[in-house]
Structures are given as structure tokens and as C-alpha cells.
Structure 1
Amino acid sequence: MNPDVVVATALRIVDEQGLDALTVRRVADEFGVTPMALYWHFSNKEALLDAVGDAVVAGLALPDPALDLEAYLGEAMTSLVDVLRSHPHATPLVPARLLLTEAGRELTECTLDKLVGAGFPIDKASAVAHYALMIALTLVVGEPGAETSVKPDERDEAHEAKLALLLSLSDDRYPRLRAAAPSMVVCGDSDDYYETAIEIFVKGVMTQVSPDSAG
């Protein structure tokens, strides 16, 4: 039993059962040891959670720094979304750990550099980087049909209730909402859902770039 194996086990528990299921005792049970054995590696549950968050952020794929701003933002957002999609129940841990890991710092530094190079003041560049993180988190935790706020074993019932509610609306008053009901309950194409959202975000940022500094 070493720290990396403990963290991997903790992350698996989070992936399978949610963040609330993770306790030092639960991880210790996986190894057939007492919770005290884990305290050699992690002083408390908070330290274990930090390590799990670090493990998620460490999975970031860093885009090529030579890319132009638009391409870099697209790849940076895709990388962030991909690691969050891989561990959706661990997303609450990411914001606090992003700048405390090398991968997170490198991604943020290069993103800021690209934005400043395109003419954004540093405070506005910082805001755009924050928007990117918040949008990525919101997309993943709120993906229709896979919301992390709903327990996996309760999703089917929750989806049926939501669909029934939307379809009970007046067709005369809410024809578009009724037509969109299935897609609002369960995402038909997850990849397209994320790709479209990232494209909208990146295009929005690019409208703020002055023509003189776009290159």
C-alpha cells in the first residue's frame, strides 16, 4: 500500500459511488487495514481529498503552446472537459487544486499568456480563464441525463418525472419546450453537447480580440 495506490482507490470509489461515499474508513476497508494505517500517508480526510483532486488535474493534456489563441483555447477547454468527464463526481475538488498542481499551473499560465498576447488586459484575461473553468465544471455536472446532483440509482426515476412534467405542459403555449423535452432530460449526443459548448465559448472570446492583435 503506497500513496499512489491509495489515491487511485479513493478516486475509484468517488467515480463509482460519489464524493460523499469517500471516507478514510471506506478506503481502509479496501485494503483490509484499519483507518490508522492510512494516516501514515494522509493526515486526515481533507488531505486525501486534496490528493484525489490533484490526481484528476494531473490528467490534463497540455495543448501545443505554438497554437494561436483560438486553437489553443479550444484544445485547453477540451482537455479540461475531458478530465472532468472522466471523473464527474470529483469535479468539486478541481477548482481549489487547479493552481496547486503543475499541469494546472502550466495550462493556466499559457492560457493567460495567449490572452494577453491577443490584447486582453491581465485582469480580463484572468476573468476569461475563470469563465473557462466554471463553464467546463457546469457542463459536466449538469450534462442532461448524467447530472452529478442525482444519484445514479435514482436517475431513471428522476428522468421519467422530469420528462412527464415537460410533456404535461400546454402544447399551445410551450410547443418548443415540449418538442425539446427528451433532449433536455437526456443528452442524445454527449460529444456534440461538449463540442458545441466549447465552440460557442471560444467564438465568444474571439469576438473580444481586436483585429490588430488577432495574430
Structure 2
Amino acid sequence: MPLRRPDVLDGAMRLLEEEGLAGLTMRRLASALDVRPSALYWHFADKRALLDAMAEELVSGVPEADPALPWDARASRLATGLRTALRSHRDGARLYAGTFVARPHTLRIGAALLTAFTDAGLPRARAMGTAFTLLYFVLGHTIEEQAHEELHATGEWDPDEAAAATAPYPGLAQALKEYENSTPDQRFTDGLHNFLDGVRYQLTEHRGG
């Protein structure tokens, strides 16, 4: 059976899960699919095109935001859905952060965030900047989550070494110890709430001005 574009994309997603982003090469993908590397280029012009397609596939399951919900509930659901999608594959956030995709699902999420913030009352340009800032928060948080999980899984994280490094800063050491007692979900939720509180402040400032 001839190699199809969906076959290449499915194989790439499996290889990402097995080897991580660093191990995802066109040569390894061709080997996993039992084809010559040149066969991949019938469907994707280069690795960048493949990564863009993978990024779009990653976020394809992010649910729609119900337009009847308040703006902040919509923004929260979109951010949470995006984090869930990025976490669905190993190195998903790192992969997505390295792409600049203008495809249906990526554009749908961006448009929904823009609408949420303009419905809140922000001017369009400011709303667009706010949408990008929320995206950067989700990406940065999820990249850190997945990197930390990888370090733990490979045994590269040494809590004693980390504790020793912060010993000269007792306040920081205690705060980090308390912070580590929270879950990644709690940290994400706290950060998201802080972000939305900042948007609410912007709205108050804008209306007051």
C-alpha cells in the first residue's frame, strides 16, 4: 500500500512519544515506517512542514468555547484545553512552541481567545496581545511540567542537590519546599487565575481612564 500523508503523521506522533523531540528525525521516521527518507518528502517538503502538521494535530482536540459563557470562563477553558492537548504527547509543548502555524485548529483557538478578550472590553490590539500572553503562559508552564517529569523519569533530578543550591537563600528554599507540595494542576490553576485577575485589573483601569 502506498505511503499516505496520515501514515507519516501518525508515525511521527508515535516516534515523538517514543524518542522525544530530540529523537524525531526524518531518517528515524523513515526507518520506523520502513520506507526510504525520500518517500517522506512526497508528503512534507521538509522537517519544518512535518512539525507544523504535528503541532496542528496536537491541538485539534481542544474543545470549542461556548460563546454563551462569560469571557473569563471561555479563556480559562481554552487555556486548560490547550494545556491538556499539549500534555497528551511527550514534548508536546516544546514541539508546539517551535512552530508558527496558520491552520484551522490553531487559528480557531486564537480567534476564540481574541473574541473572549474583546467581549471583556479590551481594545482589539490589546486583546490580541493578551491572547498571545496567555498562550505564552500555557506553553511555558507546560514545557516546564514536561521537562520536570522527564528529569524525574530518567533519574536526573536530585532534590538534595537542589536543596543544597538554595541553602544560602533560606527564604527561597522554604518557599520552594512549600511550592513543591502543590501539584502541577494546582500551580497551573493558580497561575491562570493570577493572569485573569490581571486582565480584570486592565479592564477596570481602561474603563476608569
Would you call these one fold, judging by a TM-score over 0.5? yes
**TM-score, scaled to structure 1:** 0.80
Q: 1:64 aligns with which of 39, 63, 66?
A: 66
- Whether 1:141 and 2:143 are equivalent positions in the alignment is yes
The reply to whether residue 163 of structure 1 matches residue 157 of structure 2 is no
Change (3 A) 1:97 1:45: closer
Give the 3 Å change call, closer, same or farther, for CA 181–41 of structure 1 in structure 2: same
Q: Is the 8 A contact 1:145 1:187 kept in 2?
A: no
Aligned equivalent of 1:194? 188
Q: Give the counterpart letter for 1:131 in structure 2.
A: T
State the shift of 1:208 in Å. 2.1
Greater mean deviation of Cα atoms: 56-65 or 83-92:
83-92
Question: Residues 212 and 178 (structure 1 numbering): CA distance in 2 closer, same or farther, change over 3 Å?
Answer: closer
- Give me the identity figure in percent: 29
Q: Cα gap change, 1:143/1:19 in structure 2, threshold over 3 Å: closer, same or farther?
A: same
**1:120-140 deviations in whole A, cap 9, x for unaligned?**
111110110010011111111
Secondary structure of 2:197's counterpart equals helix
> Counterpart in 2 of 1:118?
120
SS across alignment from 1:42: coil
**Does residue 1:207 correspond to 2:201, yes or no?**
yes
Per-residue Cα deviation, 1:96-148 (whole angstroms, up to 9, x for no partner): 75651212222222222232222211111011001001111111112387277
* Counterpart contact for 2:65–2:77, Cα < 8 Å: yes
Structure 1 letter corresponding to 2:163 = L
How far did 1:3 drift?
A: 1.9
RMSD: 2.9
> Taking structure 1 as reference, are residues 198 and 67 closer, same or farther at Cα in structure 2, changes over 3 Å only?
same
Q: Which amino acid aligns with 2:170?
A: P
Secondary structure class of the residue paired with 1:10: helix
**Structure 1: tracts of 5 or more residues without a match:** none
Unaligned runs of 5+ in 2: none
Partner of 1:64, secondary structure, is coil
Q: TM-score by structure 2 length? A: 0.83
CA contact (8 A) 2:72 2:116 kept: no
Distance 1:147 1:103, change over 3 A: same
Q: Which amino acid letter does the alignment assign opposite residue 207 of structure 1?
A: Y
The equivalent residue for 1:21 is 23
What SS class does the counterpart of residue 41 from structure 1 fall into?
coil
CA contact (8 A) 2:52 2:100 kept: no
Measured in 1, the distance between the counterparts of 2:25 and 2:97 equals 21
